[in-house]
């Protein structure tokens, strides 16, 4: 098992993170062209989730890598596991989720499958995965896993320490070092504020095309 040094966390204004968590990921999606995980990685336990990624690349059905990485989780982190195309064997169940929640994790993302979904739902820990399975990983102690390195869950290159933001509509990756992060959040906030007025006007019968500034058709 390869362990990389954990990526130093970029300094982010806690107030900015609070503002980011208050908007919808889809509101950011209006202004982004990349960073969207495959929609097949979907919310199995719904909830708004924002935190730093703790990454695991786990190509084999070995339980040890995920069990080891749990000791590195800090409050607010999101555990992100890339199963490298395996959608048959679950690597997260009740005990992994409970350990992650107890450590303060904000959620779990698995490009693969999970188990014990009812028990995890009862915890209220946001969980995103491709599906569920009754087949689970087990202690094999085989080489090939990687902790705290770059992974590619849902087709998106992700580094340990990146921001992971998700809700019922999907999951996206944000670079915490991007210089325009505050401006991006401000645009999302402005969009959501405008939508409050648009809801009223649409119910009153106004045209969505007109509200979006499209020229009237001849």
133-148 pLDDT, tens per residue?
999 999 998 999 999 9
- Residue where the block lists tokens 């670079």: 175
Q: Residue 218 — pLDDT band, cuts 50, 70, 90?
A: low
Q: What is the mean pLDDT of residues 62-77?
A: 96
**pLDDT band per the 50, 70, 90 thresholds, residue 9:** confident
Mean per-residue pLDDT, 155-162 = 96
Q: What is the pTM of this model?
A: 0.94
- CA 51 – CA 163 distance, rounded (Å): 6
Q: What is the mean pLDDT of residues 44-61?
A: 97
The two three-digit tokens of residue 6, written as one number: 């954990």
At CB < 8 A and 24+ separation, what contacts does 209-218 make? none
Q: For the chain, what is the mean pLDDT?
A: 95
pLDDT tens-digit map of 25-36: 999 999 999 999
Closest by CA to 186, choosing from 8, 13, 10, is 13
Residue 91 in 3-state DSSP? Answer: coil
**Over 90: is that where the pLDDT of 132 sits?**
yes
Angle at 12 between CA 6 and CA 16, to 5 degrees: 140
Q: At 149, is the pLDDT very low, low, confident or very high (cuts 50, 70, 90)? A: very high
Residue 216 has what DSSP assignment? Answer: P
**Confidence grade of residue 131 (pLDDT, cut at 50, 70, 90):** very high
Residue 117 reports pLDDT greater than 80: yes
Q: For residue 142, how many other CB atoms are within 10 A of its CB?
A: 13
Rounded to an integer, what distance in angstroms lies between the CA atom of residue 178 and that of residue 83?
28
- Read off the tokens for 131: 């599906």
216, pLDDT greater than 80: no
Predicted confidence at residue 160, as pLDDT, reads: 96
């Amino acid at each position: 098992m390869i362990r990389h040094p954990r990526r130093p966390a970029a300094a982010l204004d806690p107030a900015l993170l609070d503002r980011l968590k208050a908007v919808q990921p889809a509101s950011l999606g209006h202004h982004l062209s990349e960073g969207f995980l495959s929609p097949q990685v979907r919310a199995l336990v719904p909830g708004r989730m924002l935190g730093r990624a703790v990454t695991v690349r786990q190509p084999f059905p070995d339980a040890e890598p995920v069990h080891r990485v749990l000791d590195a989780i800090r409050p607010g982190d999101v555990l992100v596991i890339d199963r490298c195309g395996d959608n048959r064997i679950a690597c997260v169940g009740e005990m992994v989720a409970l350990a992650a929640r107890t450590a303060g994790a904000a959620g779990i993302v698995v490009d693969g499958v999970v188990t014990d979904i009812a028990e995890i739902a009862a915890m209220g820990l946001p969980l995103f995965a491709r599906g569920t399975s009754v087949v689970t990983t087990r202690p094999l102690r085989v080489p090939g896993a990687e902790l705290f390195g770059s992974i590619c869950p849902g087709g998106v290159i992700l580094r340990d320490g990146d921001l992971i933001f998700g809700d019922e509509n999907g999951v996206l990756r944000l670079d915490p070092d991007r210089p325009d992060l505050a401006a991006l959040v401000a645009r999302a906030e402005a969009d959501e504020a405008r939508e409050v007025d648009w809801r009223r006007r649409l119910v009153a019968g106004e045209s969505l095309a007109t509200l979006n500034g499209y020229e009237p058709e001849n």
